[in-house]
Amino acid sequence: MSKKTLIVIGNGMVGHHFLEQFVASPAAEDFRVVVFGEEKQLAYDRVHLSEYFSGSSHADLAMGTADWYTENRIELRLNEAVTRIDREGRKVTTDRGDYAYDELVLATGSYPFVPPIEGREHPHCFVYRTLEDLDAIRASARDGKSGVVIGGGLLGLEAANALKSLGLQAHVVEFAPRLMPVQLDAEGGSLLRHKIEELGVQVHTDKATTAIVEGQDARLRMNFSDDSHLDTDLIVFSAGIRPQDTLARACGLEIGERGGIVIDDHCTTSDRHIHAIGECALWDQRIFGLVAPGYTMARTLSSVLNNDEEAVFTGADMSTKLKLLGVDVGAIGDAHGQAPGARSIRFNDEQAGHYRRMVISEDGKRLLGAILVGDNSHYDTLLQYALNEITLPGNPETLILPESQGGAPALGPDALPETASICSCHNVTKGDICGAIDAGCSDLASVKVETKASTGCGGCSALLKNVVDSELEKRGVEVSKDICEHFPYSRQDLFHLVKVNGIRTFRTLISQYGKGHGCDICKPTVASILATCWNEHILTTDHVPLQDTNDTFMANMQKNGTYSIVPRVPGGEITPDKLIVLGEVAREYDLYTKITGGQRVDLFGATLSQLPEIWEKLIAAGFETGHAYGKSLRTVKSCVGNTWCRYGVQDSVGMAIFLENRYKGLRAPHKIKMAVSGCTRECAEAQSKDIGVIATENGWNLYVCGNGGMRPRHADLFATDLSDDGLIRTIDRVLMLYVRTADRLQRTSVWMENLEGGLDYLKEVVLEDSLGMGAELEAHMADIVSTYQCEWKTAVEDPEKRKRFREFVNEPEKKDPVQQWTVERDQRRPVLESA
Amino acid sequence: MKAPTRWDAVCTVDDLVPESGIAVWTEDGPVAVFYLPHRLPALFAISHHDPISGANVLARGITGDLKGEPVVASPLYKQHFSLRTGRCLEDESVQVKRYPVLLDGGRVRLEVPCEQRQTSAA
Ligand SMILES: Cc1cc2nc3c(=O)[nH]c(=O)nc-3n(C[C@H](O)[C@H](O)[C@H](O)COP(=O)(O)OP(=O)(O)OC[C@H]3O[C@@H](n4cnc5c(N)ncnc54)[C@H](O)[C@@H]3O)c2cc1C
C-alpha cells in the first residue's frame, strides 16, 4: 500500500512538538510528512524570543535541527507559505506549486493585533513576534534614543524590557487603567507599576493613542485622546494576538465569532481531514495563548491520528508564573473572583513590595484563583490547591501570610492526589512519577529521563524533587548521598565539616567523622576539599597519599605507565622562544608531541624519573604547570580578539590570560574549562565551556555551565554587558559556589541541573546575592588566588619531594622493560605487550 | 618442597612513603612496597605489574581499605587489589603475586624466589 500524505502548515513551537510526537508513533509508518513554514528559520522557542537580544542566536533557540528532520524523513519546506487550501481536491497551494494531502494539520499560530491607528504603517513601527521582527527593532534602535510599547500586558512588558536592554529609554502605553489588566487587579497592577518605574521604564496608563505623526524631538509623535502627546524614535505594538485563521476562513472551515479555527475535543475542525492545534485553534470558545496547552493539543492530535479514540483535549490551565523586568508575577485560575459568591483574601506589604490575593469559593473550601506580585514563592502551593481542588485549611489566610506571621509552610507532596499535574510542559502527573519509581527509577535524575518531567521550562523542578524524595522515602529507599563506605556524608557536607572545624588532614577528618582507612573515592575528594580550604602544596607529606597518581606526580599517566606533560600556555598565547624550548625539550627526551584542543602542547612518553629534570628545564624557560592532571582549571581558550581581528570588539586574549592566571591552581570537584570570544562569531566556542565569555560592544556576556565532551550541553546565558570587574566578580562567585557545593566528579553542567531551582536560583544567589554570601565567596577566592604556587617549581626545588620520582628506588638506572617503543609518522609511540 | 627463596634488602625505611607505595626492582621483577603506618602489620608487598593494563604501575595507586581489607587501586583502570592476598576484588580470576616483607633494622627485606641457594649480600 502506498503511503498517505500528512501536511502540516506552520513550523512553530506547537507544529514542531506535534512532529516530535507523531514521528515516534506507529502511524508514522503510514504517512509521508511534509511541513510548510512561512518563516525562513526552523521552528524556534518563541517563549524565549527576548534572549535573542541578550546574545542567543537562532541556533540557541531552535527547537530541533535540520538533521533531525532529515533523519525522520520529514520534508521541511521553509520560507514557503501556503496560500490556499482546496478541500474538495485535498491539496494546498504555495507560490511554488500544489501539494496533495490525505490529512492536514493547521499549526499557524497567531499574529499580533495592530489597532487601526492612523500612521501605524510608519517604518519605525513594529510588532514583537518573530526573529525578523527583532532584527528590525534592533536596527531601528541603533540610532534611536527612546522607544514606546503600546500595550501593558505580559508581552508588552517583556518588549519594554527588550527596548531597555537595547539602550533605549522605554515607555509603556496602556489603554486600561492598570498594567496587565487581564491577569492583575488594581492593587497588583499598581504595585507592578511602581516596581517597573523603579527600574526606569515609564508607564502611561489610561492612554488611548489617536494618531502617529512625525515627531519633533524624535522620529515619531504619538497623539493621545486626552490631547497630550509623547515623542519617540520607535513604536512596538503589543496590543494582543489574533489567531492566524486566514487560510481556514478562505476555505470555509467553521470560524469562531471573534476568530479562531473551531476544533472539537479531537483537535479536528469542521472538515474531518483537517485538524488545528496551537494558538490558531478555538476550543470551547477559547483561544489558548500559551505554549503548554498547545503542546497538549499536539499530543492529543498525534494520538487521534493513531486512531486512539480516547484521546481528547479537555482544555488547559492558563495559570502563569513569570518574571517581568525582574519582578515576580503570578496569576492562577479565576484571579478576578468572577465566580458567583467568590470572596478574596488579600495580603499587601508595601514596604517589601509583595502583594498576594487568594480568591476562594463561597463555602470557603476551595481556592479558585490567586494573584501574586513581587514574590512567587507561594505560587506552587497555591496552584496545587487550585488545580487539584484540595480542601483549604480552616484559616486559609495562612497560605499567603509570611511564615513569620503564622504563615503555613508549603503544601507537602503527600497532600497531592495522584492526578496532580507536576509538570505541565510534558503533562506529567504525580501518578506518572510514582509509576516511574515503581518501575525502577531510584533517583531524581532517572525520573527526569523516564518521564521528561522538569525538562521543559523547569518551573516545577523544586516540586518534582520534593515529590520524588518523598515517594522514595515512602518506599523505604534511603536517598543516600554518602560518598563511600568510609564517610556517611556528601562532598558538600564534608566541605562544610572541614571548613567549619578547621580540619587540615585526612587522618583527623576520618577519625572524627568517618571509619576505616579511606579509599580511592574519598581520599582524592578530601584532598581537593583541603586544597580549596587551605591551599597547601599537594606534595606535603600528609597530602601525597590522598592523590590520584596524576596529582601525585603532577603529570598524566598514559597506558604504558609513562606520563604526558602539559605546561600552561595562558590563553594559547606563546612566544616563538618558548615554543622553541618546548620543541627542544621534546626532542631531547624523544617525547611524542601533539597540540591539544585547549590551545597548548602535550608532550607524551616521559618516564617517572624524567619528570623533574624536564620540569627544571621548562621552569627555567618560564613555564608553569598546566594542571592537566588535576581536577582544576585547565585552559582558557581564546580567539585572537580585536588586536588583530577586524570583527573583534574586545581584547579576548588579554581577558583569557587574565582569567587563566587568576583561576589556575583552583581545586574543584572536577576539571574546569573556560573560553573567551572576541565577538559574537564565537570562534573560541565559549558556549561549550564551564565558563564562557563573549565580548559585546559594551563589555562581556557571561555563559555558564556548558560542556563539550561526552555529554555536551550548551552554556546558559548568565549575565550581559558586564564590565571587566563585574565579570570577574561574577565568575569568582559562580566558581566558588560550585567548588563548595558540587558533588564529587560533578561538572558544572550537571551541578547546575541538579541545583534546586536551577539557573534561576544560581542567578539569584550570584547576581542578586539572595543568600548574602557574595562577599564571602569573593574573599575566599581572593585568598586562593593570593596563595597560588606553581606545584612543579616547589617540587623540583625540594630534594625530599624529588625522591618520589624514582621509578625503582633501588635501581636508579633501571629502565622499565614493559615500556617498548616504535615509530609512527616520525614520532615515538608505545607498543604494549599485554600481560 | 618449598622452592628456594632468599630475603633481599630492597630499600630503607626512609625510602618508604606513609600510606602509599614505592617500586623496587627484584630478581623476580618489579615489586610494589606499601607502608600503612596505621595498620598492623604496616608493610605489604605485591607485584608492581598491573595485569589488567600490562603496565608497571601498582605502587602509584591510592591505598585504603574496602570492608576492612587493605587495598590499592590501580591508577590506570581503578581495579582494587588486596594487599594481603594480591587478589583483584572486581575480578576473582585476576591475581597478582604477593611477597612476604619485613623490617630488619633500617632495611626493608622481601622474600623472593632464587635459583641458587645463597644468602643476600645486600
Ligand atoms: C515574546 C513572546 C513571549 C512569550 N512568552 C510566553 C511564555 O512565557 N509562556 C507561554 O506559555 N507562552 C509564551 N508566548 C506564547 C508562545 O510563544 C505561543 O503560545 C507559541 O509560540 C504558540 O505556538 P504555535 O505553534 O501555535 O504558533 P507559532 O509559534 O507562532 O507558530 C506558527 C508558525 O506558523 C507559521 N505560519 C502561519 N501561517 C502560515 C502559512 N500560511 N504557511 C506557512 N506557515 C505559516 C508562522 O510563520 C509561524 O512560524 C510568548 C510569545 C512571544 C511572542
Q: Decide if A670 contacts A747 (C-beta within 8 A).
A: yes
Task: Establish if A386 belongs to a structural domain.
Answer: yes
Region label for A561, one of left (φ > 0), alpha (ψ between -120 and 50) or beta (otherwise): left
pLDDT at res. A473? 80
For residue A110, which atom of ligand 1 is closest to its CA? 30
CA–CA gap between residue A156 and residue A168 (Å, rounded) = 15
Percentage of chain A beyond pLDDT 90 is 59
Domain limits for position A436: 412-479
CA A258 to chain centre: 37
pLDDT at residue A183, as a whole number? 83
Task: Tell me the per-residue pLDDT of A210-252, one tens digit each, with 9 for 90 and over.
Answer: 999 999 989 999 999 999 999 999 999 999 999 999 999 999 9
Last residue of a domain, which of A547, A564, A589? A547
Report the nearest-CA residue for atom 51 of ligand 1. Answer: A47
Q: Is A459 in the pocket of ligand 1 (CB under 6 A)?
A: no
Nearest residue in A to B10, CA atom: A810
A57 in the same domain as A17: yes
Chain mean pLDDT for chain A: 90
Whether residue A357 sits in one domain with residue A284 = no
Residue range B61-114, pLDDT digits in tens:
999 999 889 999 999 888 899 999 999 998 888 999 999 998 888 899 999 987
Q: Is residue A830 part of a domain?
A: no
- Express each pLDDT in B6-48 by its tens digit: 898 999 988 998 889 999 999 999 999 999 888 878 899 999 9
Listed in sequence order, the residues at least 6 apart from B80 whose beta carbon sits closer than 8 Å to its beta carbon are: A520, B66, B71, B72, B73, B74, B88, B89, B90
A18, A19, A42, A47, best to mutate for ligand 1 pocket (most atoms within 8 Å of CB): A47
CB atoms within 10 A of CB A706: 25
pLDDT digits (tens, 9 = 90+) for A87-112: 999 999 999 999 999 999 999 999 99
**Which residues in chain B are contacts of A561 at CB distance < 8 A?**
53, 55-57, 76
Centre of ligand 1 to C-alpha A107, Å, is 9
Quickly count: other Cβ atoms within 10 Å of residue A457's Cβ. 18
- Would A769 be classed as within a structural domain? yes
In a domain, A157, yes or no: yes
The rounded distance, in Å, linking the Cα atoms of A359 and A347 is 12
Q: At what angle do helices A724-741 and A758-767 cross, to 10 degrees?
A: 120
Which atom of ligand 1 approaches the CA of A50 most closely? 1
Distance to chain B for A449, nearest Cα, Å: 29
Ligand 1 midpoint to CA A243 (Å): 10
pLDDT at A459: 65
Q: Is A810 in Cβ contact with B24 (below 8 Å)?
A: yes
In this complex, do B55 and A518 lie within 8 Å of one another by their Cβ atoms?
no
pLDDT of the residue at A403: 67
For residue B20, the chain A residues in CB contact (below 8 A) are: 544-545, 552
Q: Distance from the CA of A12 to the center of ligand 1, in angstroms?
A: 6
Cα–Cα–Cα angle for A470, A420, A322, rounded to 5 degrees = 95
CB A602 less than 6 A from any atom of ligand 1: no
- Residue A683 in marked binding region: yes
Kindly report whether the peptide bond that precedes residue A293 is cis, defined as omega within 30 degrees of 0: no
Binding site membership of A82 for ligand 1 (Cβ less than 6 Å): yes
Identity of residue A352: A
Is there a contact between B62 and A561 if contact means CB atoms under 8 Å apart?
no
- Cβ-contact A390, A384 below 8 angstroms: yes
Query: Is there a domain that residue A231 lies in?
Result: yes
Tell me if chain A has a CB within 8 Å of the CB of B78.
Answer: yes
In-domain check, residue A291: yes
| CATH number of the domain enclosing A570 | 3.90.480.10
Q: Which helix (H) or strand (E) holds A422?
A: strand A421-423
Centroid of ligand 1 to alpha carbon of A638 (angstroms): 37
B31's enclosing H/E stretch is: strand B29-35
B74 touches chain A (CB under 8 A): no
A207 and A270 in a single domain? The answer is no
Instruction: Give me ligand 1 centre to Cα A236, in Å.
Output: 17
State residue A479's pLDDT score.
64
Q: What number is the ipTM of this complex?
A: 0.91
Q: Is the pLDDT of residue B120 over 60?
A: no
Residue A223 C-alpha cell reads as 497623539
Whole-number percent of chain A with pLDDT over 70: 96
B24:A808 CB<8 A = yes
Domain annotation covers residue A173: yes
The answer to whether A705 is annotated as binding is no
Q: Residues A726, A749, A565, CA angle at the centre, nearest 5°?
A: 85
3-state DSSP assignment of residue A403? helix
Is A380 a pocket residue for ligand 1 (Cβ < 6 Å)? no
Question: Which of A290, A300, A376, A427 is the best mutation target for the ligand 1 pocket, counting ligand atoms within 8 Å of the beta carbon and taking the most?
Answer: A290
Partner residue facing A559 (CB), from B36, B55, B73: B55
- Contacts by residues A589-597 (CB-CB < 8 Å, ≥ 24 positions apart): A589/A614, A590/A828, A591/A565, A591/A828, A592/A827, A592/A828, A592/A829, A593/A827, A596/A566, A596/A635
Q: How big is the A-B interface in CB pairs under 8 Å?
A: 104
Tell whether A393 is covered by a domain.
Answer: yes
Question: Could you say which of A453, A479, A505 is where a domain stops?
Answer: A479
- What is the C-alpha separation between B99 and B85, in angstroms, rounded? 9
CA of A298 to the centre of ligand 1 (A): 14
| Structural domains of chain B sorted by starting position, each given as residue range(s) with its CATH number in brackets | 5-113 (2.102.10.10)
Spatial CA neighbour of A23 closest among A75, A98, A95: A75
Q: From A455, A479, A503, give the residue that closes a domain.
A: A479
CA-A247 nearest atom, ligand 1: 41
Return the SS3 of A748: helix
| Distance from the alpha carbon of residue A282 to the mean position of ligand 1, in angstroms | 15
Residues A80 and A16 in one domain: yes
Cell of A756: 534546586
Residues of B in contact with A552 (CB under 8 A): 20, 60
The neighbour count for residue A523, using CB atoms within 10 Å, is 25
CB of A630 closer than 6 angstroms to any ligand 1 atom = no
- Dihedral of CA atoms A553, A557, A563, A569 in degrees, nearest 10, equals -80
Q: Is the CB of A80 under 6 A from ligand 1?
A: no
**Tell me, what CATH number does A369's domain have?**
3.30.390.30
Q: Secondary structure of A229-286 in the HEC alphabet?
A: EEEECEEEECCCEEECCHHHHHCCCCECCCCCEEECCCCECCCCCEEECHHHEEECCE
- What pLDDT does residue A580 have? 97
What was the pLDDT predicted at B118? 47
A520·B57 Cβ contact <8 A: no
Q: Do A557 and B75 touch (CB under 8 A)?
A: yes
Residues of chain A contacting residue B51, judged by C-beta atoms under 8 Å apart: 835
Instruction: Report how far ligand 1's centroid is from the alpha carbon of A128 (Å).
Output: 11
- As beta bridge partners, residue B21 has B34
Judgement on whether residues A577 and A527 belong to the same structural domain of the protein: no
Does one domain contain both A708 and A785? yes
- Which residue ranges of chain A lie beneath pLDDT 50? 834-835
Alpha carbon A808 to its chain centroid, in Å, reads 51
Asked if residue A423 lies in contact with residue A463, where contact means CB atoms within 8 angstroms, the answer is no
Check CB contact under 8 Å for A548 and B19.
no
Looking at the structure, do residues A138 and A218 belong to the same domain, yes or no? yes
pLDDT recorded at residue B122 = 39
Question: Residues A777, A638: one domain?
Answer: yes
Dihedral over alpha carbons A764, A768, A770, A775 (to 10 degrees): 120
Q: What is the CATH number of the domain that holds A178?
A: 3.50.50.60
Query: Ligand 1 centre and the CA of A46: distance in Å?
Result: 6
* B40 close to A (CB below 8 A): no
Ligand 1 lined by A39 (C-beta under 6 Å): yes
Ligand 1 atom at minimum distance from A246 CA? 41
Pair A388, A358 in one domain = yes
* Same domain? A456 vs A568: no
Indicate the pTM of the whole model. Answer: 0.55
Distance (Å, rounded) from C-alpha A188 to C-alpha A372? Answer: 7
Rounded CA gap, A286 and A370, in Å?
Answer: 21
DSSP H or E stretch at residue A33: strand A31-36
Report pLDDT for A205: 93
- The response to whether residue A157 sits with its C-beta less than 6 Å from ligand 1 reads no
Q: 3-class secondary structure for A154-197?
A: HHHHHHHHHHHHCCCEEEEECCCCCCCCCCCCHHHHHHHHHHHH
Q: Which residues contact A171 (CB under 8 A, 6 or more apart)?
A: A146, A147, A148, A149, A160, A201, A202, A203, A204, A230, A232
CB contact under 8 A, A557 and B22: no
Question: Quick one: A438 and A330 in the same domain?
Answer: no
Q: Do B19 and A545 touch (CB under 8 A)?
A: yes
Nearest to A85, CA basis, from A268, A233, A256, A275:
A275
**Among candidates A316, A319, A317, A323, which has minimal Cα distance to A332?**
A319
Residues of A within an 8 Å Cβ radius of B:
485-486, 507, 516-520, 522-524, 541, 544-550, 552-553, 557, 559-561, 608, 803-804, 806-811, 814, 816, 818, 832-835
Using the beta-carbon criterion (under 8 Å), do A545 and B20 form an inter-chain contact? Answer: yes
A-interface mutation test, from B13, B15, B57, B96, most A Cβ less than 10 A away? B57
User: Nearest C-alpha of chain B: how many angstroms from A811?
Assistant: 7
* Model pLDDT, residue A480: 65
Number of domains in chain A: 7
Distance CA B71, CA B74 (A): 10
Measure in Å the smallest separation between the Cα of B56 and chain A Cα atoms: 6
Same-domain pairing of A142 and A184 = yes
Estimate the crossing angle of helix A430-438 against helix A444-451, to 10 degrees. 110
End-to-end Cα, chain A, rounded Å? 59
Contact at CB, B66 and A519, closer than 8 angstroms: yes
Return the pLDDT at A182: 83
